[in-house]
Structure 1
């Protein structure tokens, strides 16, 4: 496949980080299919001193003091430490459940107080420091307004007996009983999600628990290590005791007690099974992706969708009635175009039962250089699939003893149900799906793109090489098509919007909401063909002619000019205005394209806010909803945008007259996002 893995906008140097923060994110999970996506570059805004943004005004809300906590002061808890100082306290399951519930109801601290500190300001990282604190050295100071709860599991095996939000001790503390220095010593990034757990553990009460049957002395020893770390951190960062103390607690209840009395806090049970009680980004993204790309019929008896679970995880589940296909064609990077003899063999074996075969994935076939054998085999394969699915028409079957195709006028008795599939249901399989649709429906490439997306409601992703290849072979496909014999292929031409297209369409997030990049936005003819009549530009203006602007009407174009992807500019103040613009189009029956430069940070954040507002989803679920639908590209809202969207979640609860209760806390959200992105990053 022609997928290119693009690094995050981070400057990498040869010096390794001083702490095991990245490797600590090797979470214990069962292997799961990874959607075929890539991390795009997200350019920051101006970085020069002259153009560096001034510190933005805070959200109109002030929390100068720490939020209240049921763990502070700890006077009501029993002291159990062996050391005279500092102290370890005991806590039971009921008290921990109440404390976590209370913490989730406390408003998040003002982002103006938490940023840029949360970005990671290592004292030796002059690039990061120069960008964020060249004008304001006070921004380096550790905030006083944060008080969290970090749950740590003894032993670090998170593949079983995991309480909501629990982490390994190695993610936050060193063997020498010191909190890890999480800030990267070099490079520049506004997406340091992987450092948040360690960074905020030092400003949290620590709660340590163990699996049933674990050593109590080891549990207490680990707790004492954390008390020493808290003491050392306080001496270094709070020598004047300007903030309340943070304490360490040991859970006295058994894990079985949690499973019985507080199942909503159990993410993974004692046997290693996910309970579904706690939001899991991996599982939710997979669920959203499969829902978005679920199998559907694109032409008579030919279906397109994601690879069924029983094929992805052999032995773990059985095929369902919906998986009752005669022929399953998997698009694969390693596959070759099948030849006539192979098709003839599969043709015979279909009489014995369902068969599987492979076909090259999207992006893997380029324009032929003189030798047209690949084109012949491709057309032959598509013709063969068509007559399997449509046996009532005179069929042409492959000659089992030769490379040519001979006519066979004997109709087949039974239509075959054919399923074209790949892991995510929309990437690797798109080349074959579009080519087959062109042949079966007798339409040129550009019309196949539109009909698959608009009429068949399929989201799919192709590459520029696919566009070139399909444009090249479309005369042959249409000449061979059983429904387009009367078409004069010499008169077929590609419209201008198709010639400008790189293969991808804007991502359909909701029926009235599309997410795309600046290239999509600068193709207004394409937008018109998709039914998009409004454009919301976040920080990146479109390059349209005056005539195009006049044709669309100024009321259908909005430009937000004060939000750069630099980790400094707030998005909060623009969310309401953007959503009102989208809502106006929705009421008028018009779809809106929201875009920035790459379509993964600023514009993705607005789409997440819209999904939260209209579907009533929490931020984690809305994030996965949009992520699954941003085809082949990983959305990358930076730290501040994600933090503000968690506050947006609080606001939505207030509007619905619901008590504030975050589904996941900030360190857990950041950790899960880092884990989601880790497989795609080379760092």
Structure 2
């Protein structure tokens, strides 16, 4: 007999990713918390330079003078030397000077991307694939740029969970035990997203500032400083034997950390007691904040709510339930759950009078379409019916399941408030939420998708298996729905846009802004249902009929040519006109779909720029804003796009007469992105 199989989707459905060691360069313990159910899609790199029309990169490089940004640390003539008289020296730096240096550095313009790329991608001399793709026999592109002068703050020891200054890293992230800067470039493979190498790669081109927790050995700190001086000497002998560029120096913070913490709290990420100060943005925490803000619990049908697992359930000894948040039944959608049987429902039903109850239900993507009606389908429908009559006892009638274990129809029972939840508030719970909405509201699957998204303002994510399963059982749900009574299901049909859908809608970033892939763009009927009237295509052409194009109007379609996801083609030249197109749609009351092929890099970068411009957010905050709302697919702007967006942010601030200080530095942004993505990377 055919059955409904509940199985774990290993590729996409890890509630907690499999444990794996974090590379030395990213060895920062994270706070324990559920990981959102996301995955990293494969982004095609686009054609190699051999297949593209030559760009003006080399011309631009020849015209740009490679000058280092100014620094109050160079030359170090005003600093006290701590090492013996022979050169090179280790210098002392006070708390006030360090704070000034950090703020000054953040206000300096980033070098032109043509000076830093493709070098930042990582051009290991043994990696012929990477170097061949980017340099194309132009050896000049492999040279280390001279224009970068950064600041790398290094904390003594390996614990960054206490006393962490903004952007601080540990020594093993940048130098090896032989006192040499790490060779960060990957020796094999191809990637335009080597975020994990940026900290080590640029530490060699930075002034190093070392500090320690109060009470740590000062002799150990000075010994580490000598190692960095040695590393800087060795790097200079290899990369600048003629000593043509300014030197990089090593400094030691001589004031106690407690003084720095007291006088400059805005630059302290974690205090001496190990508490996050919230004064320095943390991408991990900010993504979680944006995700939960986006998916906060709301009522989808009378007395039934959909949202993320409450914090007080995730951290029972840390958080308490809000006074205004009270549920009688929590239903957690989980990829490890079984379909509830009648005896379990009967037991929970009897215990509800005694207090709040909890139960589980299979997650989205885990229920496989059966070939016919089965007992498992009966159990699913029975569970949905049971939830409805708990929430709506006044609509109930004397009904019992096949075994007589669940009785619905206690007319004097109170209405129960029910929360359908999962860690992120949308992934695992979407199947149950849509099925329940179909039953409770008496609408077919396509209408349930649209009403939950458009009317209830819920963002959710479903899989193709969910579309097939809900289409299969929708006749049964509608026949038994109290909102419709017995209906003739022969007239229920799925529209063309629904048949073409893979389960997911394009992601609603803002009311006027959607982010999606090429499949979304090639489903214009779906776009119309969502209220989308304009399409911005980044590097990928939509395949529409001439009638469809005529119906939409050429003024509502915009195509950006010659932008591939190859780490070479610049996007900054296109940002302003893309945002103008989005603003025109917003002014007309229209929503716009921005798409590329996968919807995670080129189009995501434009959406980040729009969020920065319209919401007044810094790049790191806009990145997390878009990342959270892209739902189950992780956005992946490559290195050059991220760099260009950081640079574009500064230019916009200058135009508005605002302070141009970056919230986070390039290396910190890259390090945080690498840490965010690591749990989802395929081993």
TM over 0.5: yes
Shift of 1:5: 4.9
Q: Which residue does the alignment assign to 2:119?
A: 117
- Cα 1:88–1:500, aligned 2, differ >3 Å: closer, same or farther? same
Corresponding residue to 1:2 among 5, 9, 15:
9
Please tell me whether residue 511 in structure 1 is matched to residue 518 in structure 2: no
C-alpha offsets along residues 147-190 of structure 1, whole Å, 9 cap, x if unaligned? 00000000021111100000010000000000000000010000
Equivalent residues of 1:90, 1:251 under 8 A apart: yes
- Cα 1:655–1:59, aligned 2, differ >3 Å: closer, same or farther? farther
Equivalent residues of 2:150, 2:205 under 8 A apart: yes
Distance in 2 separating the partners of 1:364 and 1:322: 33
Equivalent residues of 2:386, 2:408 under 8 A apart: no
Equivalent residues of 2:342, 2:406 under 8 A apart: no
Please tell me whether residue 177 in structure 1 is matched to residue 169 in structure 2: no
Q: What SS does the corresponding residue of 1:392 show, helix, strand or coil?
A: helix
Please tell me whether residue 244 in structure 1 is matched to residue 246 in structure 2: yes
Q: Which residue does the alignment assign to 1:336?
A: 338
Q: Which residue does the alignment assign to 2:75?
A: 73
Corresponding residue to 1:313 among 312, 315, 323:
315
Distance in 2 separating the partners of 1:403 and 1:394: 19
Q: Which residue does the alignment assign to 2:50?
A: 49
Q: What SS does the corresponding residue of 2:415 show, helix, strand or coil?
A: coil
- Cα 1:120–1:406, aligned 2, differ >3 Å: closer, same or farther? closer
Please tell me whether residue 425 in structure 1 is matched to residue 432 in structure 2: no
- Cα 1:418–1:387, aligned 2, differ >3 Å: closer, same or farther? same
Q: Which residue does the alignment assign to 1:15?
A: none
Q: Which residue does the alignment assign to 1:31?
A: 32
Q: What SS does the corresponding residue of 2:130 show, helix, strand or coil?
A: helix
- Cα 1:569–1:26, aligned 2, differ >3 Å: closer, same or farther? same
Shift of 1:395: 3.7
TM-score (norm 2): 0.95
Q: Which residue does the alignment assign to 2:454?
A: 454
Equivalent residues of 2:384, 2:439 under 8 A apart: yes
Corresponding residue to 1:216 among 218, 233, 239:
218
Q: What SS does the corresponding residue of 1:321 show, helix, strand or coil?
A: coil
Distance in 2 separating the partners of 1:122 and 1:395: 72
Distance in 1 separating the partners of 2:557 and 2:398: 52
Shift of 1:83: 7.4
Shift of 1:645: 0.2
Distance in 1 separating the partners of 2:132 and 2:572: 25
Q: Which residue does the alignment assign to 1:416?
A: 416
Higher mean C-alpha deviation, range 485-494 or range 380-389: 485-494
Corresponding residue to 2:155 among 153, 156, 173:
153
Shift of 1:551: 0.7
C-alpha offsets along residues 585-638 of structure 1, whole Å, 9 cap, x if unaligned? 100000000000000000000000000011110000000000000010000000
Equivalent residues of 2:346, 2:406 under 8 A apart: no
Higher mean C-alpha deviation, range 471-480 or range 390-399: 390-399
Higher mean C-alpha deviation, range 319-328 or range 282-291: 319-328
Equivalent residues of 2:49, 2:136 under 8 A apart: no
How many residues were matched structurally?
668
Q: Which residue does the alignment assign to 1:22?
A: 23
Shift of 1:63: 5.5
C-alpha offsets along residues 189-211 of structure 1, whole Å, 9 cap, x if unaligned? 00000000000000000000000
Distance in 2 separating the partners of 1:459 and 1:297: 13
Shift of 1:414: 1.1
Q: Which residue does the alignment assign to 1:11?
A: none
C-alpha offsets along residues 310-332 of structure 1, whole Å, 9 cap, x if unaligned? 11122111111243110000000
- Cα 1:474–1:247, aligned 2, differ >3 Å: closer, same or farther? same
Equivalent residues of 1:397, 1:405 under 8 A apart: no
C-alpha offsets along residues 629-671 of structure 1, whole Å, 9 cap, x if unaligned? 0010000000000000001110221132102100000000000
Runs (5+) with no aligned partner, structure 1: 7-19
Q: Which residue does the alignment assign to 2:290?
A: 288
Q: Which residue does the alignment assign to 2:527?
A: 527
Distance in 2 separating the partners of 1:413 and 1:493: 37
Please tell me whether residue 190 in structure 1 is matched to residue 166 in structure 2: no
Distance in 2 separating the partners of 1:390 and 1:82: 82
Equivalent residues of 2:565, 2:601 under 8 A apart: yes
Distance in 2 separating the partners of 1:664 and 1:36: 27
Equivalent residues of 1:266, 1:275 under 8 A apart: yes
Q: What SS does the corresponding residue of 1:351 show, helix, strand or coil?
A: helix
C-alpha offsets along residues 233-262 of structure 1, whole Å, 9 cap, x if unaligned? 000001111110000000011111122100
- Cα 1:502–1:21, aligned 2, differ >3 Å: closer, same or farther? closer
Q: Which residue does the alignment assign to 2:678?
A: 678
Q: Which residue does the alignment assign to 1:592?
A: 592
Aligned-residue Cα RMSD (Å) equals 1.7
Shift of 1:427: 0.5
Shift of 1:677: 0.3
Corresponding residue to 1:262 among 264, 273, 282:
264
Distance in 1 separating the partners of 2:391 and 2:260: 54
TM-score (norm 1): 0.95
Q: What SS does the corresponding residue of 1:49 show, helix, strand or coil?
A: helix
Shift of 1:410: 3.2
